[in-house]
Amino acid sequence: MMQNTTNWLEHDMQERLDQRAAKQRLRVYQEEQEEWKTQAATTTSKQASQKDGDDDDGRVLDFSSNDYLGLARDPNQQALVEERYHQTLMDRYNNNTNENAGVLGATGSRLLSGDSGYARQLEVYLAKCHEQEAALLFNSGYDANLAVVSCLPADVVIYDEYAHNSLQMGLRLRRKSSSQQQQQQQQQHHYSFQHNNVQDLKRQLERITRSMMHLPTTSTSTTQSTPPRILILVESVYSMDGDVAPLQQILDLALEYHARVLVDEAHGLGVFGYNTTTNNPEHPRTKAGGTGVLAQYQLQRHPALVASVYTFGKAAGCHGAVICGSKTLRQYLWNYGFPLVYSTSLPLHSLVTISCAYESMTSGTGQALRQQSHAMVQLFRELVQQHILRSQGSHESLQQTSDRISLLPSTSPIQALMLQAESSSSSNHNPHDSNHNHNHSATSAAQLCTDFCRLVWDKSAHTIRLYPIKAPTVPLGAERIRIILHSHNTPPQVHRLVQVMVQCLMQMNMLGNTTTSSSTTTNSISRASSRSSSSRMYQSRL
């Protein structure tokens, strides 16, 4: 009699989960976290409207979200969106427009009933903001990266080893050539280079160019001497490390090898880019700030740049994404960007929210929010240096002073605290080494990060929640605590965060007896917090 095999799918899923758990890589949905999540959600609006940072009244402080400028939680931003949305609906009604897009939902793909005049006008506005010929909206940053990476024609793709999962998944979806031999060749023509290492990228470009010049021509090549078509994938700000890519050097190098570069600005939008005014007295013009790292270094029109991707779920405080580039690129994605072609488009309310977010980010108020955010980053790094790392040097380049505690270099709101197990301590240990295979120490590092975050939650009386970032999100052995500083954080809150961190590290025996005692250290932080309260900056109201 045949055995009952109707549960084969459940069995196979559980088997894969067990395998991941055995490797200490299992992501677990923990029911016990729901209590603090609910508490955090109910206090968000109170925190957003808080006027005095000295007394948080037991509110959960935000040191973990990607809401860098606080737009997602700001009541005035919400009021702006609702007012603009209502006005748009009234304009439609009064003008008796024949818009296909519905009020609550877009009703279809952009290629069918989901298109609208508002969406097209928004794309024109976004293209102008990012100084590009054209722009094309997507439902998310993940969709945008999948679409553009999977369909752009190229012989070779080179990507930063820390490139976001959406970029790497786009590589897997790249269209395969017809013949089996070409398929095998194309699968082999995806290479990574060492993170932010321009010299390693140059070595890869040189090696690939030399080898590809001797390969049979592709279907679109005219001669064997034609340089290979190389596409380079990078991010402007890396989400787990917080460091900024050397975009000027990468773009200039790409130009030497006839390569093109795609830049993912998910964590650069809103955070980088300053409001400036042109020096031409006859045609004075204010250049909008907050449009990313490319804009900050005036690289938006670099000839090697093929596209830039801007995600709205971080500093913009809403949802969706846009790809900016040439009109040819927009038309190409309209035909071959399948996540766009086969998805219902963004509804009108989302489009209005995006428009309002850009209005706020690029205004003088947005500039003030960026300055506040960067001030909190500087304060945090100075406090960590003084009370935890105790190293010399500038806050932009803190070096590891203990084999067990380090803070990765970062000038962005993303700060990565690394904790290493005692058994893996080594003066030459690289926390980002993906070849690090000491399972015991890697497991211990992951457990240390988890224990630290739980201890912070308890020590702060459930007012500070940090998250451990574990493999496979980061390489095994490079687990860390991801700490985010925002414009809506205040100096007393940052002092409180570091104070609790010191207490927890001492309780975990991560800070030894040779350091300042716990009471002395925490008291000095408290006194510094009191002194800074009179001179702190506050979030400008939108």
Tokens of 352: 């209005």
- Are 189 and 235 in contact, with CB atoms under 8 Å apart? no
Tell whether 84 is covered by a domain: no
Tell whether 408 is covered by a domain: yes
- DSSP-derived secondary structure for 228-265: P-EEEEEESB-TTT-PBP-HHHHHHHHHHTT-EEEEE-
Identify the pLDDT of residue 319: 96
Distance (Å, whole) CA 421 – CA 439 = 11
Tell whether 404 is covered by a domain: yes
Same domain, 132 and 52: no
The residue from 312, 344, 376 where one domain ends is 344
Burial grade of 341 (CB within 10 A; 0-12, 13-18, 19 or more)? middle
Asked whether the predicted pLDDT for residue 224 surpasses 80, the reply is no
Distance (Å, whole) CA 483 – CA 363 = 27
Same domain, 426 and 331: no
Identify the pLDDT of residue 351: 97
Same domain, 469 and 340: no
Same domain, 307 and 402: no
Q: Is the peptide bond before 216 cis (omega within 30 degrees of 0)?
A: no
Same domain, 331 and 392: no
Tell whether 243 is covered by a domain: yes
Same domain, 182 and 276: yes
Tokens of 387: 């009370």
C-alpha distances (whole Å) from 211 to each of 204, 215, 219, 467 are: 11, 7, 18, 44
- Are 334 and 325 in contact, with CB atoms under 8 Å apart? no
For residue range 299-337, what is the model confidence (pLDDT) as tens digits? 999 999 999 999 999 999 999 999 999 999 999 999 999
Q: How confident is the model at residue 1 (pLDDT cuts 50, 70, 90)?
A: low
Asked whether the predicted pLDDT for residue 537 surpasses 60, the reply is no
Distance (Å, whole) CA 65 – CA 410 = 17
Same domain, 256 and 136: yes
For residue range 231-284, what is the model confidence (pLDDT) as tens digits? 999 999 999 999 999 999 999 999 999 999 999 999 999 999 976 655 555 554
Distance (Å, whole) CA 77 – CA 101 = 24
Identify the pLDDT of residue 37: 54
Same domain, 324 and 195: yes
For residue range 117-128, what is the model confidence (pLDDT) as tens digits? 999 999 999 999
- Return the minimum-mean-pLDDT range out of 85-89, 217-221, 473-477, 506-510: 217-221
For residue range 79-132, what is the model confidence (pLDDT) as tens digits? 999 999 999 988 887 776 666 555 789 999 999 999 999 999 999 999 999 999
What's the CATH number where 131 sits? 3.40.640.10
pTM: 0.84
User: Could you report how far apart the first and last alpha carbons of the chain are, in Å?
Assistant: 71
Tell whether 188 is covered by a domain: yes
Tell whether 313 is covered by a domain: yes
Tell whether 110 is covered by a domain: no
Identify the pLDDT of residue 10: 85
Tell whether 213 is covered by a domain: yes
What's the CATH number where 460 sits? 3.90.1150.10
Domain count for the chain? 2
Same domain, 409 and 318: no
The residue from 285, 313, 344 where one domain ends is 344
Which domain does 338 fall in, by range?
A: 119-217+225-344
- Assign 26 to helix, strand or coil: coil
Same domain, 412 and 501: yes
Asked whether the predicted pLDDT for residue 529 surpasses 90, the reply is no
Same domain, 320 and 416: no
Smallest CA-to-CA distance from 88 within 358, 353, 360, 311 is with: 353
- Are 261 and 232 in contact, with CB atoms under 8 Å apart? yes
Same domain, 335 and 232: yes
Q: Considering all CA atoms of the chain, what is the largest pairwise distance in Å, rounded to the nearest integer? A: 90
More confident residue, 177 or 207: 207
Q: How confident is the model at residue 424 (pLDDT cuts 50, 70, 90)?
A: very low
Distance (Å, whole) CA 439 – CA 138 = 40
